[in-house]
Structure 1
Amino acid sequence: MTLPENRLKHCLSNTDDRVAIHIVTIPSAVVTQAMAAAGADGLIIDMEHGAIDHASAHAMIAATAGTHCAPIVRVPEIDAAVVKRVLDLGAEGICFPLVRTAEDARHAVSCMRYPPRGVRGFGAFIAQSRWQTDLPSFREATEDRLINILLIETRDAVQNIEEICAVEGIDLLVVAMFDLSTDLGHMGEFDHPVVRDAVGRIEAAAKAAGLPLGGNALSREMADGLFDRGYRAIAGFDLLWLRAKTSEIKGWTET
């Protein structure tokens, strides 16, 4: 069975297109469906932080049906059992936190592939419906369509970034500025020389390896700044968008 091309994966690997990928922390299929319908290229369903359980994640993945939006799950750790379960819910990709070494990156890739290429166990009883395939053809139809996103958020990752970028099977690196600045000892000080130097090293390594980069952008100005530096993906947060818009509207009532 031949499935339609994964639009987000195609954009990341075969074009210079810019994409918008939002992190979804609210355990709601309604929120996910609205954001997917609004044109998000991908949604990262956050199971590392917050209140989303597996039942909510399944409903949120299903809610992207009928759109071009790729449902991706951020897992709490690089663990084959954890990855297997959310892929078997129908996720089209995984966002891996705390990737510190090239070995971590290789393990992340392995968790998403079936033997002999990886260690994923087979049990796509739910996922076959999301992918509109059947069990016999599931592996062949889906394995190379999955999206692998690595978060670069530690001092160790920066030190090992060239080796991480050389690992086959990575679709996108995301610079997680809050975590990275915290691990470097300068929480939230994004303009601190230590933080800027670390980010510069990540950017240089990704460019040399031909890997697309993503970063958080909570305003048009932030997004333009990332694009000017060669980033291809911008990310926001559903809860932060909601808080910001609610605060803005409250301002309309003030005299």
Structure 2
Amino acid sequence: MPIQLSPLLRDKLGTGLWVCSGSPAAAEILAGSGADWLLIDGEHSPIGLETITSLLRAVQGYEVAPVVRVPVNDTALIKQYLDLGVQNLMVPMVHTVADAEAAVAAMHYPPRGVRGVGSALARSSRWNRVPGYLADASTTLNCIVQIESRQAVDNAAGIAAVDGVDAIFIGPSDLAATMGYLGQQSHPEVLDAVHSAIDAARAAGKFVGVNAFDETQARAYLDAGVDFIAVGADVQLLAKSSDALVERFNND
């Protein structure tokens, strides 16, 4: 039987949910929700390499595209994530063209990039059970870079134009902080910067996404033409729904 790899983000654009808890059960529940893609967060969550592997296995049987965010744009760490079987890799804090080029290089074997060759030992090739993995590995990967600083917005056109960058994902929270508006993701100047990055990505012909847990803002971004959007996280959804449930009973 042919080995089935996970869907690529480019084929599953749309509504996404965020896995921050590190719980395989939570990941599988979200994967079965009908979401198009799922972000497994290695940057702001207590999730290490072994847990990422467990989360990938938990969602493997679903149509959802798992996207995994590496904590830092580091060649060695990206190599490890890819060997775990991560196919849709999100790289945070990409501020310059050079940052984007480094992320792309880390994702590909020589001569295109600098990825170390260890596929025979790794889940990425299903331990050499994926025929022709080394030759075809680049076709099984999507590189998503994050624009989340004023500097990155200023460089957005160049970042989006980098060959091998498949998609741009905008982080309004960090962007707002770098602009002096900490916690004010809906400040007019922040929104202008987000829309500027959206326009740059679209002009370069790249997919563009954004994080927006506020429904009104999320719908506004969709109207602006984003291709994929994260609208909620496991921990956030649990906190909000449990708060609301307890409040209803406490107020009876």
Q: TM-score higher than 0.5 here?
A: yes
Distance (Å, rounded) in 1 between the aligned partners of 2:222 and 2:53: 33
* Aligned residues of 1:22 and 1:42 also touching (Cα < 8 A): yes
Query: 2: distance between equivalents of 1:70 and 1:133?
Result: 22
Matched, 1:11 2:7: no
CA distance in 2, matches of 1:140, 1:123: 13
Unaligned runs of 5+ in 1: 13-17
Query: In 2, are the aligned partners of 1:54 and 1:86 still within 8 Å (CA)?
Result: yes
Q: What is residue 238 of structure 1 aligned with on the other side? A: 234
Structure 2 unmatched ranges of 5 or more = none
1:145 pairs with one of 123, 140, 151: 140
SS in 1 for 2:209: strand
CA distance in 2, matches of 1:100, 1:129: 31
Alignment counterpart, residue 200 of structure 2, candidates 184, 198, 205: 205
Query: Structure 1 stretch 1-10 or stretch 77-86: which is displaced more?
Result: 1-10
Displacement of 1:5 in angstroms is 8.2
Counterpart position of 1:169:
164
1:175: Cα distance to partner? 1.3
Aligned mates of 2:215, 2:201 — CA distance in 1: 23
In the TM superposition, what is the alpha-carbon distance from 1:92 to its structure 2 partner? 1.6
Match of 1:225 in 2: 220
Residue 76 (str. 1) matches residue 74 (str. 2): no
The alpha carbon displacement at 1:113 in A equals 0.5
Residues in 2 aligned to 1:212 and 1:70: alpha-carbon distance in whole angstroms: 15
Q: Please give the root-mean-square deviation of Cα atoms over the aligned residues, in Å.
A: 2.3
Match 2:50 to one of 44, 47, 55: 55
Q: State how far apart, in whole Å, the 1-side matches of 2:222 and 2:87 are.
A: 25
The answer to whether the 8 A contact 1:9-1:171 is kept is no
Tell me if the contact between 1:3 and 1:141 (Cα under 8 Å) persists in the aligned partners. no
What corresponds to 2:245 in structure 1?
A: 249
Tell me how many residue pairs correspond in the alignment.
249
> 1:172 touches 1:211 (CA, 8 Å); kept in 2?
yes
1:22-61 equivalences under 5 Å are: 22-61=17-56
Give runs of aligned pairs for residues 88-99 of structure 1, distance below 5 A. 88-99=83-94
CA drift of 1:72 comes to 2.3
The normalised TM-score by structure 2 is 0.89
